[in-house]
């Protein structure tokens, strides 16, 4: 059985003030479903849409985890 992969990604919107919500990573999968994967603090982490294309949900969440750990260890 093939696992669904991310075919499209949208990141944002980025906050304009301290009180605005944090940006979200929203994805569309190969089966047509969509999901908000997570939000993040843009002063700590950065992502590009192309990093998620072709990945499974688990791989995308692993990417977030690796970046988070790298930031915390810096």
Q: What is the pLDDT of residue 18?
A: 87
Q: What is the pLDDT of residue 12?
A: 96
Q: What is the pLDDT of residue 1?
A: 55
Q: Is residue 1 part of a domain?
A: no
- Residue 4 CA to residue 39 CA, distance in Å, equals 21
Q: Is residue 22 part of a domain?
A: yes
User: What is the chain's alpha carbon radius of gyration, rounded to the nearest angstrom?
Assistant: 13
Give the chain's domain count: 1
For 54, how many CA atoms within 13 A lie in the half-sphere containing its CB?
2
Q: Is residue 17 part of a domain?
A: yes
Q: Is residue 44 part of a domain?
A: yes
Backbone angles phi, psi at 14, to 5 degrees: -80, 145
- Residue 72 CA to residue 56 CA, distance in Å, equals 25
Alpha helices in 1-74, H assignment, sequence order: 57-73
Q: Is residue 13 part of a domain?
A: yes
Low-confidence ranges of the chain (pLDDT < 70): 1
Residues of the domain holding 60 = 6-73
Q: What is the pLDDT of residue 67?
A: 97
Q: What is the pLDDT of residue 2?
A: 74
């Amino acid at each position: 059985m093939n696992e669904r992969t991310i075919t499209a990604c949208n990141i944002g919107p980025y906050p304009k003030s301290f009180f605005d919500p944090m940006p979200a990573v929203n994805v569309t999968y190969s089966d047509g479903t969509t999901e908000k994967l997570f939000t993040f603090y843009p002063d700590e982490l950065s992502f590009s849409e192309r990093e998620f294309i072709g990945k499974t949900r688990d791989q995308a969440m692993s990417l977030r985890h690796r970046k988070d750990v790298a930031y915390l260890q810096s």
